[in-house]
Chain A
């Protein structure tokens, strides 16, 4: 089975406000806020860590959830975020120009 890689889209704007991630689309300036799972996915989306590892090491550590179910949900979430051009997804590692994730407060 192929692995999925996720990377933050460098065209978006992002900032964490009291743990809640605000993302502004680079496509049409639509503003999104990410829930806790999506925020973990965003923060971990470095383009080189496969999604299954993110699920195993970050999401399953945070939530009591079966790994297979968590991976299925994470893939769905990743594809939804990608449809809004918030992240990029690929079956190959995705080179990143910088490691920023819009972290602050």
Chain B
């Protein structure tokens, strides 16, 4: 984020406006990715009318950037009706996240006509045998890549999202090369999210410490390796007053069932739009306001950590570990992989005898840091040009 968008985000923060929302339209999916954190059964998705009502409430609340995700969004028969309402009537900046299996020429043309800002598509490998083994759908790589080409041919901005796991870790350079060949952006993300019911078994799919070190020392990804991997200096008082992240401050997440959470990766219930107005949940939920009250100085353990000013600590992952004010072990491990310096949390665990051998533990299982391939556009190009 840069420039004007950053200014508008600061303004939204002061005004308590939810500038950005991810809305999952469904948890149903036509792939069965081995690392997915969702239950794909339909437990009572919002209807078309309910979603339109919610979108109107969100527009009235000031939401500008709307990310439609899932599940697989194109499994909703009303998808284009909802997209048209979001774009034409409510004028959201709409981003889509999809596996794109159901996007052909016709759908790509409609997406273009409706002025979608970007389409993010998950590609796990350039090799069908690897990608399809992760999605558990034969032929899925071909269909997704065909869709990338359809969308690109319509002039749409396409982003390939490459989640790094043990199965596909060595393929990321080739995925990046493929993205370059297709003329689309590419992001790498080593985040594996625990299941929404708390089951953490999927974390075993995460890449190990050695692999993370390889990624963090890839100059084509991180730029100046020395600078990226440098040990941060002690934070000043101002840094301790910082917000841990935007979740609950200028952004939130709504599930297909109307549940509102601070973030898709932060399943703290704050209310349900079937029972309350979106703006009332946003402004008055005790849970949302509790999240909002947290400053870096309030974090247990982390305030004394040498990584506190540079850590990618995710409050949602910390919450999933049991304490949203506590450390996120996965991010501790990430900082360790980056710098070689163990976090305060890791040292405390070691002292308590609960830790394992540093460097040989389940390090680097997840992280919120999204490593964007260089050179890349920012999330949203934000050139200031005031009329």
Contact = CB atoms under 8 A, between A and B. Distances in A.
A31 B382 contact: yes
Interface string B361-387: 000000000000000000011111111
Given A18-B11, A31-B383, A34-B386, A26 B64 contact: no
Nearest to A34: B387
B380 A24 contact: yes
Nearest to B113: A11
B385 A30 contact: yes
Contact of B387 (A22, A28, A80): A80
B348 interface: no
Contact of A30 (B12, B64, B382): B382
A100 B385 contact: no
Interface in A1-36: 10-18, 20, 22, 24, 26, 28-35
A105 B17 contact: yes
B91 interface: yes
B314 to A, nearest CB: 26
Interface in A53-105: 77, 80-81, 84, 86, 97-98, 100-102, 104-105
25 contacts: A10-B87, A10-B115, A11-B115, A12-B91, A13-B92, A13-B115, A16-B62, A17-B11, A17-B12, A17-B19, A17-B62, A18-B15, A29-B380, A29-B381, A30-B383, A31-B380, A31-B382, A33-B4, A34-B387, A35-B387, A80-B387, A97-B88, A98-B88, A102-B91, A105-B61
A100 B91 contact: yes
Contact of B59 (A11, A15, A18, A35): A15
Interface of B: 3-5, 8, 11-12, 15, 17, 19, 59-64, 87-94, 115, 117-118, 157, 380-387
Contacts of B60: 104-105
B386 A33 contact: yes
The 4 closest A-B pairs by CB, nearest first: A13-B93, A38-B387, A11-B115, A102-B91
Given A22-B8, A31-B381, A105-B62, 19 more contacts: A10-B115, A14-B91, A15-B63, A17-B8, A17-B11, A17-B12, A17-B17, A17-B19, A18-B11, A28-B381, A31-B8, A32-B4, A33-B8, A38-B387, A77-B387, A80-B387, A81-B387, A86-B387, A102-B91
Contacts of A102: 59, 90-91
A105 B279 CA distance: 12
Secondary structure at chain B's binding surface: helix, strand, loop or mixed?
loop
Interface string A25-52: 0101111111101100000000000000
A12 B90 CA distance: 11
A97 B43 CA distance: 36
B9 to A, nearest CB: 10
A91 B63 CA distance: 34
Contacts, number: 100
A84 B385 contact: yes
B115 A15 contact: no
Contact of A32 (B15, B59, B62, B385): B385
B185 to A, nearest CB: 12
Contacts of A16: 62
A33 B7 CA distance: 10
A74 to B, nearest CB: 11
Which of A28, A33, A35 has the largest number of chain B CB atoms within 10 A? A33
B17 A13 contact: no
A60 B4 CA distance: 29
A20 B8 CA distance: 10
Contacts of A29: 117-118, 157, 380-381
Given A31-B5, A100-B90, A17 B64 contact: yes
A81 B387 CA distance: 7
Given A18-B11, A29-B118, A31-B8, A10 B385 contact: no
Contacts of B384: 31-33
A56 to B, nearest CB: 20
